[in-house]
Structure 1
Amino acid sequence: MFTPDGYVCHDCADELAIEYEAEPELIADGGITWADLTGFKRDVLEAIAQIERDGEEPYGLAISEYLEEQYVDVLHGRLYQNLDALEEDSLLERDELDGRTNSYTLTPEAKAMLEESTRRRADACGLQVIATDGGEDT
C-alpha cells in the first residue's frame, strides 16, 4: 500500500478510488452510504472505533485528541457538528456520561460500513484482513 518512502502506492490509490465509487451496499438505515460521508466523518467513525477498541470512553475530547494525530487542529464546532450529523444519520448513538459530557457509540450500521470499507481497501491493495475478535479470518 505504501512505497518505502511513505507514499501511497499509485496502483492501490487508483483501485481504492474505483472501489469507493462503487460501494452501493454500504448503506445506513437513513440511506447514507460510505461514499456520502466526508473524509472527516469517516475519520470520526474510525476514531470512535479505535477508542472503543482500546477500552476507553469515546467522548468529545478523546475523539478530538485522536483526530489531532491526523489533523493539525480539530475545531470544537467542526467536531460537534459532525458528531450531530452522524447521529442524525443513524451512525452514532449519544449517551450522557455526566451532566456536561456525552459519550458516542457506533451503531451496528456504522460498524458494518467501517468493516466493509476496511475489507475493500485491504482487497484493493492485495492485503488480507485477519479477525482479532475471535471470529473467522476474512
Structure 2
Amino acid sequence: MDDLTGFQRDLLYVIAGADQPSGQDVKDEVETYYNSEINHGRLYPNLDTLVNKDLVEKGQLDRRTNYYEISDSGQQAIERRREWEQQYISD
C-alpha cells in the first residue's frame, strides 16, 4: 500500500466499507469526505489502478454499471496499514 496515493487509499477504504459499491457510489462517498466534486477522469483511472494492483476486484452489475469489491490482498493491505498506523497513534 506504500505505493498508493492518498486518494487511492481513500478509494480502497470506501470500497472495503461498502457492499459491492458502483463507481458512482464510491464517487459520492469520496465527494462527501473531500467536500468537493471528483470528476470521472480522476476517479476511474484510480479505481483501475487498484484493480490492476489486485487490491480490488471489478465486476459488472449490468451493461453500464460496474461494481467494486475489496480483494483478500486489499483487505490484508488495509490491515497492515492499520497496524503500522497504530504504532504512531495512541488510543
Q: CA deviation at 1:86?
A: 1.1
Distance of 2:37 and 2:82 partners within structure 1: 26
The answer to whether structure 1 residue 84 and structure 2 residue 51 are counterparts is no
Structure with higher Rg: it is 1
Over the residues paired in the alignment, what is the CA RMSD in angstroms?
A: 1.2
Structure 1 runs (4+) deviating above 6 angstroms are: none
Which of residues 56, 64, 67 in structure 1 aligns to 2:30?
A: 67
Aligned to 1:109: 73
Structure 1 residue ranges without an equivalent (≥5): 1-33, 128-138
Q: 2:89 aligns with which of 96, 119, 125?
A: 125
Percentage identity across paired residues of the two chains: 36
Count of residue pairs the alignment pairs up: 90
Does 2:7 align with 1:43?
no
Instruction: State the distance in 2 between where 1:110 and 1:50 align.
Output: 12
Distance 2:52 2:18 in 1: 21
Q: TM-score, normalised by structure 2?
A: 0.90
- Residue 63 (structure 1) shift: 0.2
Any unmatched runs of 5+ in structure 2? none
Matched position secondary structure for 1:51: coil
* SS of structure 2 residue aligned to 1:94: strand
TM-score (norm 1): 0.61
Q: Which has the higher helix share?
A: 2
Structure showing greater relative contact order (alpha-carbon pairs closer than 8 Å, 6 or more residues apart): 2
Query: 1:24-39 alignment to 2 at 5 Å?
Result: 34-39=1-6
